[in-house]
Amino acid sequence: MPRVSAAQLFDDTRDKLKLAWSAGRAAPDSGLDSDLINRSGQGLIGHLNIIHPNWIQVLSSTEIRYLAELDTAARGHVLDVLGASELTCLIVSDAEAVPAFIAELAERRPVPVLSTPLSSIQVMWILRPYLARALAEFTEIHGVLLDVLDVGVMITGHSGVGKSELALELISRGHGLIADDVVEVFRIAPNIIEGRCPPVLKDFLEVRGLGMLNIRTIFGETAIRIKKNLKLIVELQRASAEQMTGLERLPLRPDKATVLGVPVRKVILPVAAGRNLAVLTEAAVRNFVLELRGIDSTQEFVRRQEAYMSGSEDTP
């Protein structure tokens, strides 16, 4: 499962948050584990909370002042609760100096204490999306991920069915490449799947007979996308003449595939001589966008036919 250590969090966000490591340098390599977080009742990040302690506690000037005004016994109780929780690190915001009692906790616990001149709200604005991506469940899918008409489209199918050739045709028509062959997909929210390219494959598309093509070099910067939310899967299937004849003409229920527990709309395109798969893929994307807007062409056609047969209304 994905894991982010306190040291990694510090390195990845140091420039954005202007972080300094103020105390707890001797702390072990504590970190955030996605599996453990999902099984825990603790919050991920937030202002000081001892009822439901956060994994990352943010102490602004308000929390520092509150702790400083407590009597010794009450403050000791709060610090004991913090120390006993599954605390990954403390972040002191608002350019506040780290109080002696927090530095003492950091050495006793031990736990890293980071400080920043930014406000606590800014800290959480930056860290929440960072943590959502860094701790997201992920897997790898064999296929090609493209940005087609601003929709993340995954082209899948057996090896040699023509995925890369279709991708190349779509790129030549102005659409963008995210990843070829191996696509890393992350569940960054309950119903959002994000696709990215492994660093070693970035910008490259393999086409049989041509080898590796650097799409950025050939088509320019606008032909490449860094990441895209996966919305539609187009599965290519080889089909004989008999299979083409037997295909369902009016599928009343849309196909779906499940990726990391999230249902994703799927379209199956039979591959046969004379079929323009690039045009069909663009049409599938446009139809999908219409469905998102509540316009279902198949259901509209069925309703029109039913109305015509019942004689309840005239057809256009």
Tokens found for residue 109: 């616990």
The one catalytic residue in 52, 77, 108, 142 is 142
Out of 163, 225, 265, 266, pick the active-site residue: 163
Q: List residues bridging with 145 in a β-sheet.
A: 154, 179
Position 120, amino acid: S
Active site residue 266: no
- Catalytic annotation present for 52: no
- What are 155's strand-pairing partners? 144, 234
How far is residue 305's CA from residue 300's CA, in Å, rounded to a whole number?
9
Provide CB contacts within 8 A for 204, sequence distance 6+: 180, 212, 213, 214, 215
Residue 142 is among the residues annotated as catalytic for this protein = yes
Catalytic residue among 249, 253, 293, 314: 249
8 Å CB contact between 196 and 186: yes
Among 152, 150, 155, CA closest to 180: 155
Going by C-alpha positions, the residue among 278, 275, 282 that lies closest to residue 169 is: 278
Task: Determine whether 168 is exposed, middle or buried from the number of CB atoms within 10 Å of its CB (0-12, 13-18, 19+).
Answer: buried
Q: Would you call 71 a catalytic residue per the annotation?
A: no
CB 203 within 8 A of CB 216: yes
Active-site residue identified among 14, 47, 181, 202: 181
**Considering just the CA atoms, what is the radius of gyration of the chain in Å?**
27
Quote the DSSP letter at residue 55.
E
Distance CA 88, CA 6 (A): 7
Active site residues: 142, 163, 181, 249
